[in-house]
């Protein structure tokens, strides 16, 4: 589904379905990204809290982890949203104009 590090194909190179079926389609991937970010960062935050790390180091480590992981979160949130959308409202290759 990706043609470069952060760039997406408009259509599937294998079966030809159109990924972005409407304007703002990937907006919902943002909510998936929030959930993924929370799931990924919560264990680190809990660990740092239990270790009683200072506020500065807590913020620095969480922000650092976020910066390192955001490309993965960005990509997988789009992939997960695309699959969720496909499950809720299936499309077939012949639907593509
Ligand atoms: Zn395909």
Domain boundaries, the chain: 28-89
What is the distance in A from the centroid of ligand 1 to the CA of 11?
A: 8
What is the distance in A from the centroid of ligand 1 to the CA of 36?
A: 24
Q: CB-based contacts of 91: which residues, under 8 Å, 6+ apart?
A: 17, 18, 21
Interhelix angle 55-88/27-50, rounded to 10 degrees, is 140
Q: Which two tokens stand for residue 93?
A: 């290759």
User: Residue 18 pairs with which residues in a beta bridge?
Assistant: 11
Residue-level pLDDT at 96: 56
Contact 9/1 with Cβ under 8 angstroms? yes
Contact 84/6 with Cβ under 8 angstroms? no
Task: Indicate the length of the chain as a whole number.
Answer: 97
pLDDT per position as a tens digit, 43-91: 999 999 999 999 999 999 999 999 999 999 999 999 999 999 999 988 7
Residue-level pLDDT at 16: 83
- pTM metric for this prediction: 0.80
DSSP state of 18: B
pLDDT per position as a tens digit, 29-41: 999 999 999 999 9
pLDDT band at 93 (very low <50, low <70, confident <90, very high): low
What is the distance in A from the centroid of ligand 1 to the CA of 33?
A: 23
């Amino acid at each position: 589904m990706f043609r470069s590090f952060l760039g997406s194909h408009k259509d599937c190179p294998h079966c030809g379905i159109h990924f972005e079926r409407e304007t703002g389609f990937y907006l919902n991937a943002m909510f998936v990204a929030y959930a993924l970010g929370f799931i990924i960062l919560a264990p680190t935050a809990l660990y740092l809290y239990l270790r009683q790390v200072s506020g500065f180091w807590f913020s620095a480590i969480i922000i650092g982890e976020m910066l390192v992981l955001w490309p993965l979160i960005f990509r997988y949130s789009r992939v997960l949203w695309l699959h969720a959308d496909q499950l809720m409202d299936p499309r077939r290759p012949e639907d593509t104009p």
